[in-house]
């Protein structure tokens, strides 16, 4: 049922979304406090995770072609004058792809995952504004190398939940000509989330045939509803991933969320479904793992490239400049759990170095353990084959 602008309930789980928060993460304080179940839960609502097991896997299903394998590419000079150096970025992505696949030819490396017939979605993370989001430079390099590998430009699109956040962080037609840039939650040229009939544009972008159900209800006020699209107990998958793409390349950024990280799995799960506000408090870990177990993500995400050139070690997933750091790295892998586990280790080591914690908290990795149980990848660091390459 469509949500009329005039009839949106004013009761709310999360009372307001600050006007200045449009370019930052939604409710970062809640995510930080409850990330991966570090706090004792009040009770775990039931979900429909068992439904995900009804669908047979295919050759692309997580953990993909290289389970348990992660490549880390480092370059001390990838950031120049506080921005990624395009030439260095190209080299890092090039060498990362060769190291992951074992190929000697970059075209063959990319063609292991995609073909000219595939419609390919590049999933980015723009929620923390220009200062701490997936860099346009790495996305441009991925596009360039895909085109050089024979992928038609017309088959590529850049996407996330919130179209306007992508525009705010440099993902515009001006910077990416002839590339479709689209989000689930949209505004029109007048800045309205609602069409002339008073219906949310976002409602046209959700697929009611695919959903993550959890026995906790989302109720939002008129300011928050456009960020959620719908309330109730269902979180619907975006048509972008269910209908508009055949393959997904996931390009998150290396940053923390409280004591844990918000990398591959989080970027996909919370960036793909609607009505997520209700899922932060007691279901953060479950949502982060379980949404990825459904076919629109499980069977389409063929590659993860973590933008770790710039990131943060505290204050995330929002943008808090005092905790920014140049990690000068990228992570590559088809296994999102393994990549997240390596990324978690990088962030935790920085948190220890900065004196925030003395050691890692195993409960902060709950979402990784859950994802491993769902056969989405490898969560045991001792069983992950990490190949590290230093370029400069």
Cα dist. 329→169, 191, 226 in Å? 21, 37, 35
The answer to whether position 180 is within a domain reads yes
| pLDDT exceeds cutoff 80 at 29 | no
The answer to whether position 31 is within a domain reads no
Cα dist. 183→166, 193, 204 in Å? 8, 12, 11
The CA R_g of the chain, rounded to the nearest whole Å, is 19
Per-residue confidence (pLDDT) for residue 18, from 0 to 100: 29
> Which range (132-141, 238-247, 313-322) has the least confidence?
313-322
Distance CA(239)–CA(241), nearest Å, equals 5
Per-residue confidence (pLDDT) for residue 26, from 0 to 100: 35
| pLDDT exceeds cutoff 90 at 269 | yes
The answer to whether position 77 is within a domain reads yes
Per-residue confidence (pLDDT) for residue 42, from 0 to 100: 56
Distance CA(53)–CA(91), nearest Å, equals 40
Per-residue confidence (pLDDT) for residue 19, from 0 to 100: 28
DSSP string, 168-203: HTT-STTTSTT-EEEEEE---TTS-SB-TTSBBGGG
pLDDT level of residue 10 (50, 70, 90 thresholds): very low
The token duo for 138 is 């790495």
Determine what percent of the chain falls in helix, strand and coil, rounding each to the nearest 5: 35, 20, 40
Say what percent of the chain tops pLDDT 70: 89
pLDDT level of residue 43 (50, 70, 90 thresholds): confident
Distance CA(158)–CA(180), nearest Å, equals 6
The answer to whether position 211 is within a domain reads yes
Q: How many domains does the chain have?
A: 1
The answer to whether position 370 is within a domain reads yes
The answer to whether position 88 is within a domain reads yes
Span 211-243, pLDDT tens digits:
999 999 999 999 999 999 999 999 999 999 999
The answer to whether position 32 is within a domain reads no
The answer to whether position 8 is within a domain reads no
> Strand 253-254 to strand 256-257: parallel, antiparallel, or no bridges (unpaired)?
unpaired
Maximum CA extent, the chain: 59
pLDDT level of residue 24 (50, 70, 90 thresholds): very low
Q: What is the pTM of this model?
A: 0.90
Per-residue confidence (pLDDT) for residue 28, from 0 to 100: 32
pLDDT level of residue 4 (50, 70, 90 thresholds): very low
Which residue range is the domain that position 244 belongs to?
44-390
Average pLDDT, the chain: 90
- Give the H/E segment covering residue 296: helix 295-298
Whether the bond into 363 is cis, omega within 30 of 0 = no
Per-residue confidence (pLDDT) for residue 227, from 0 to 100: 94
């Amino acid at each position: 049922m469509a949500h009329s602008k005039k009839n949106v309930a004013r009761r709310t789980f999360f009372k307001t979304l600050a006007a200045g928060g449009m370019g930052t993460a939604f409710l970062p304080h809640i995510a930080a406090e409850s990330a991966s179940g570090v706090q004792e839960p009040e009770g775990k609502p039931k979900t429909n995770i068992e439904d995900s097991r009804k669908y047979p896997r295919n050759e692309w299903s997580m953990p993909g072609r290289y389970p348990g394998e992660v490549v880390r590419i480092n370059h001390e000079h990838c950031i120049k004058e506080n921005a990624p150096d395009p030439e260095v970025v190209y080299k890092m992505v090039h060498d990362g792809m060769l190291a992951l696949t074992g190929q000697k030819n970059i075209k063959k490396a990319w063609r292991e995952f995609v073909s000219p017939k595939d419609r390919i979605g590049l999933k980015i993370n723009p929620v923390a504004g220009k200062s701490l989001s997936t860099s346009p430079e790495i996305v441009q390099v991925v596009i360039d190398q895909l085109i050089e590998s024979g992928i038609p430009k017309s088959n590529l699109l850049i996407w996330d939940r919130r179209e306007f956040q992508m525009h705010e962080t440099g993902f515009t037609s001006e910077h990416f000509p002839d590339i479709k840039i689209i989000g689930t939650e949209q505004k029109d040229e007048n800045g309205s989330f609602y069409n002339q009939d008073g219906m949310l544009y976002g409602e046209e972008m959700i697929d009611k045939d695919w959903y993550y159900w959890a026995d906790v209800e989302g109720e939002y006020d008129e300011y928050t509803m456009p960020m959620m699209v719908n309330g109730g107990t269902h979180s619907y998958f975006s048509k972008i991933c269910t209908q508009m793409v055949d393959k997904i390349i996931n390009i998150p950024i290396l940053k923390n969320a409280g004591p844990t990280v918000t990398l591959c799995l989080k970027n996909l799960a919370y960036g793909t479904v609607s009505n997520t506000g209700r899922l932060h408090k007691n279901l953060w870990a479950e949502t982060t793992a379980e949404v990825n177990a459904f076919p629109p993500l499980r069977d389409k995400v063929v590659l993860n490239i973590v933008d770790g050139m710039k990131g943060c070690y505290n204050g995330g997933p929002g943008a808090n400049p005092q905790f920014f750091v140049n990690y000068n790295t990228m992570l590559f892998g088809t296994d999102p759990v393994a990549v997240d586990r390596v990324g978690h280790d990088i962030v935790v080591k920085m948190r220890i170095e900065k004196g925030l914690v003395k050691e890692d908290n195993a409960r902060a990795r709950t979402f990784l353990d859950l994802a491993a149980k769902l056969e989405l990848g490898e969560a045991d660091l001792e069983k992950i084959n990490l190949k590290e390459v230093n370029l400069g």
